[in-house]
Amino acid sequence: MSPPVKIIGHYASPYSHRVEMALQLKGVPYELIQEDLSNKSELLLAKNPVHKKVPVLLHGDLAICESLVIVEYIDEAFDGPSILPADPYDRAMARFWTNFIDTKFSQPIWLAYWSEGEAQKAVVKETKENLALLEAQLNGKRFFGGDTPGYLDIAACMLGPWIGVLEEVTGVTLVNGNEFPALCQWAKEYSSSEALEPCHPDRDRLVAYFTENKEKYKMMAKTMLQQ
Amino acid sequence: MARVGGELKLLGLWASPFVTRAKLALQIKGLSYEYVEEDLGNKSELLLSSNPVHKAVPVLIHNGKPVCESSVIVQYIDDAFAGSGPSLLPADPYQRAVACFWAAYLEDKMLTPWGRVFKVKTDEEKAEAMRQTIAAVDVLEDGLKECSGGQGPFFGGDSVGYVDILLGGMVSWVKASEPLSGSKLIDAEKTPLLAAWMERFCELDAAKAVLQDVDRVVEYAKLVMTKNAARASNNN
């Protein structure tokens, strides 16, 4: 019998969601341990002493941290449909774009939703340029990975359930159907995907979470943009 | 050197530690390639068309197809030339994950603040950025212990691997740190394993062939910081 698989995660974290998506696509059953981020557990602190963050994958005695490192681990350690492409060049392209999402894309779009006034204009411009690059990567495909979701779809999951929630909570519209029809279509494919359905986040719960934390995130954005 | 699997071209800049990573990987894998030195003040058509997203070096062009981002390039070299030279990443999925975790740590926690040292205006900001960088080096010492598993001086154990190459590309800049800032980034008293790592790394043939002259890097860094300071004061 194979060792148990658990995720230490949080329902509102797209990084945590990446890990769920990967396990779902591989067909690996898992237990999700919801972490209280305001009062971190002994387990989290022991299993991720360097960063003390979610997600952490527990596979038997092993602990793996950092969402994309975890996704690649899941692809290699378990049988099931491949998440990364087989061809080395295609793998490099997938890694280039996941690197782009984590180093260039994520912070500006986050700031674009939570900031205001003059400071917001610059991050909105940067975000739209980044969104255009991702829009072009879809290039008529259902998913970044082709007919089925792959590595980049997992990395880009924030563009699925989270965008609708953030746009509702903040009143800021960025990913509109006129400028980004392919990304909007992708979000629909994502939310109607049978393969991913079991781990779809609860929209109402996300709306409640981000509404509750609205002032905190707005304050954080203001501080970050002042630097 | 072997001419394996097609034509390789590397677009680079001699001073760049990220380009040095690509050179190290190619050297260690025994691959021959054409090197093109870019003028970042006058970027070539080839660079702009090969890396339209970042317009940065290094870019590895393999049979006309570009690969960008140094960490992606190193992994690509390992994947595409699996039969040539040693493997850069472990075969075991968990050991690979440990290596990739520490590679991500290096980029995010050490290199990000270190980059700020060369860009920020005030001495206070520089000192704070250096403090964060040195704090990350302390943690990286544990990373070296975990990755090597006591099997050798390298992150890859007794042979050079992915994390060794990512950090190895930075070595001339690490050495330049003391003349530039007065602080040692890798101090044998605080991080003895990393200090030993650096000594052993520099003894490698690949390192001797590829690492930049430290004095040249110091002069270059001073020039960059002067330019950045001038640009900052022109903006005020």
The two tokens of residue B205 are: 């043939």
For range A69-85, the mean pLDDT = 97
Alpha-carbon span B149 to A215, nearest angstrom = 45
Q: Residues A39-50: what's their mean pLDDT?
A: 97
**Record: contact B67-A89, CB cut-off 8 A:** yes
Single out the residue of B51, B53, B54, B71 nearest to residue B9, CA to CA.
B51
**Dihedral sign for Cα atoms in the order B46, B50, B54, B59:** negative
Chain A to chain B Cβ contacts (< 8 Å): 59
Tell me the two tokens of residue B46: 């080839």
What band does B87 get if pLDDT is binned at 50, 70 and 90? very high
Question: In the prediction, which pLDDT does A2 show?
Answer: 81
Question: With an 8 Å Cβ cutoff, is B105 touching chain A?
Answer: yes
CB contact under 8 A, A70 and B69: no
Q: What tokens were used for A191?
A: 């939310």
**For the whole prediction, is pTM greater than 0.90?**
yes
Helix runs in B57-122, H state only: 70-80, 93-105, 112-117
Burial of residue A149 (CB within 10 Å: 0-12, 13-18, 19+) is buried
How far is the C-alpha of A217 from the C-alpha of B185, rounded, in Å? Answer: 34
- How many CB atoms lie under 10 A from the CB of residue B11? 25
The string of pLDDT tens digits covering residues A167-226 is 999 999 999 999 999 999 999 999 999 999 999 999 999 999 999 999 999 999 999 988
Half-sphere exposure of A89 (CA within 13 A, CB side): 7
Give the 3-state secondary structure of residue B36. strand
Task: Determine how β-strand A31-34 pairs with β-strand A5-9.
Answer: parallel
pLDDT tens-digit readout, A105-153: 999 999 999 999 999 999 999 999 999 999 999 999 999 999 999 999 9
Report yes or no: B97 at the A interface, CB cutoff 8 Å: yes
N- to C-terminal Cα distance for chain A? 52
Distance (Å) of CA A55 to CA A52, A85, B69, B97: 9, 24, 25, 14
What SS3 state is found at A7?
Answer: strand
Q: What is the ipTM of this complex?
A: 0.95
Nearest to B69 among A64, A76, A96 (CB): A96
> Would you call B97 and A100 a contact, using CB atoms and an 8 Å cutoff?
no
A52 touches chain B (CB under 8 A): no
pLDDT-derived band at A227 (thresholds 50, 70, 90) equals: low
Amino acid, res. B193: L
pLDDT band, very low/low/confident/very high, at B3 (cuts 50, 70, 90): very low
Gap between the Cα atoms of B143 and B105, Å rounded: 9
- Measure the CA–CA gap between B59 and A158, rounded to whole angstroms: 29
The reply to whether residue A89 touches residue B76, judged by beta carbons under 8 angstroms, is: yes
Q: Say yes or no for a CB contact (<8 Å) between B97 and A72.
A: yes
Range list of H helices, chain A = 14-26, 42-47, 67-77, 88-100, 106-114, 117-138, 151-155, 161-170, 181-191, 203-212, 214-226
pLDDT of residue B2: 46
Is the CB of B135 inside 8 Å of chain A's CB atoms? no
Choose among B68, B101, B104: nearest Cβ to A96.
Answer: B68
A91-107 mean pLDDT:
97
Is A89's CB within 8 Å of B139's CB? no
H or E segment to which residue B147 belongs: helix B123-148
Dist. CA A119–CA A109, nearest whole Å: 13
Predicted confidence at residue B1, as pLDDT, reads: 47
